[in-house]
Structures are given as structure tokens and as C-alpha cells.
Amino acid sequence: DEEVVGEAVSALSGIFPTLLVPAPTKTAVTRWGSDTLARGSYSYVAAGATGLDYRVCAEPVGERLFFAGEHTSEQHPATVVGAHLSGLAAGVAVHRVLRKKMHGAPAG
């Protein structure tokens, strides 16, 4: 676990070279690839649910916590494409917030 966390902190330090990236206070490392019972997972819309549920899952918490994954993709749920596209969308959202905070540029 320490090696995985170290790689993540190192990657963030490379992305933000002028900031001191602190070690996380708590982590969880999954091992789905070696779990014989998990075998992966994906979301589904339960009976009575709508695409709005995917949008709700994608909503950020303030300007600090952003979500991505196939469970946040209304157009491509339960797919790798949905996970990828939602990651790109979350990255753009993070970039807009950081640009606004660091340079005073408009968020839109």
C-alpha cells in the first residue's frame, strides 16, 4: 500500500511542482485484480431510477472534490468509454477551478 500511495503523491508533486503535496492522512488500496470474488464491477440503473441519478453522482462537492467513473456518465453508463469521458470532464472541471484560483481567469 505504501508504494502505491507514494507513487500517487509523486505523480501529484510532478503535476504541481510549486506546491508541497502532503502525504494523505488515510488511504485504501483495492486489489480487485487478485480478488477471486470481486471480478470487477459496474453500475446499473435500478427500476424506477433515471439518468438524473448519474448526474447526481457526478456533482462535485464544492470546488475541492470531483467525481469520475462510469457511474457518472449518463450517455455511456457501465462502460469503459463512460469512465474515460467522465475522467476527462472531471479533469476539465478541476483545471477551470485551479485556473480561476491561481490566475483569476474566468471559470467558464
Helix, strand, coil abundance in the chain, percent, nearest 5 = 45, 0, 50
Q: Quote the pLDDT of residue 106.
A: 63
Using CB atoms within 10 Å of the CB of residue 43, give its burial: 0 to 12 exposed, 13 to 18 middle, 19+ buried.
middle
**Model confidence pLDDT, tens digit, residues 21-60:** 999 999 988 887 788 877 667 787 788 888 889 999 999 9
Residues 6+ apart with CB under 8 A from 105: 99
**Model confidence pLDDT, tens digit, residues 57-104:** 999 999 999 999 999 999 998 889 999 999 999 999 999 999 998 887
In a 13 Å sphere around the CA of 82, the CA atoms on its Cβ side amount to: 18
